[in-house]
Chains A and B, each alone.
Chain A
Amino acid sequence: MSRRPYPYPQARGLWPRLQPATWAWAALLLLTLASVAAAGHAQQGGSRLGMTLAVAALALTKAWLLLHHYLELPRAARVFRGLVGLFAALAPLLLVASALHEAWPG
């Protein structure tokens, strides 16, 4: 499977002048609001485990957007790509582990 070229091409279509970073900014904002909405759902009786998993997935997605469109991580050296990617996955993984522990203690 071939990888996507980087830097990602400028978005085309309805708003051809917008840069990928602008789309990433809008997506980051929407995903942040989605995180809060997911928490609100849990407060109203939804599954806390499901909410935590959703928040972890949203955090990972936001990290991916930021690393690719803001930080230009694909252009960094391999060692930095690995270390930064590891850190980006850490908090979501800790959230998932905590949620599983709280759902099934012991």
Chain B
Amino acid sequence: MSMTTPTGELDRRAWVVQVMGWAVERAARRLTGLAEHDVCLNAGGDVLLRAAPGRPAWRVGVENPGRPGELLDVLERVDGAVATSGTARRGAHIVDPYARRPAEAVRSVTVVGPELLWADVYATAAVARGADALDWLAALDGYAALLVDAAGRVRATAGWPGTRHRGRVGAGR
């Protein structure tokens, strides 16, 4: 993931991605240390959660990028992180560092795994990566992903814990 703009300046937005996952994980330590409490922390769509042994799993909805407000899938998790990057809320704001233009081949990527920082980084990097993002996501150890491309085609990596592994969503934007 590039940390500089095409003109060579430091791209602070790239750091925002890193800082967000890092800060949320640090903040969550205060909550996960509470006895007899389960924790679900949602920072602008990126989710970190934990349920104590024997407690019911958290149910995490994955937003449909074609129709924000509706759900694409539902995951049951007892710990770890769920992070989503894409164009649904802010348009094509992630830049392909090689083509040096906004990445638009992938509309949305949701990554599930043990750490929010890396789930967030992988999801954003996959959107920037574009066409071969699913193969790249499938090779990540310990993380699984659900991808929606620009045409609305839905695909998941082998380890995706949800019920939706392929299909289509509306064209949307």
* A and B interact: no
A residues adjacent to B (C-beta < 8 A): none
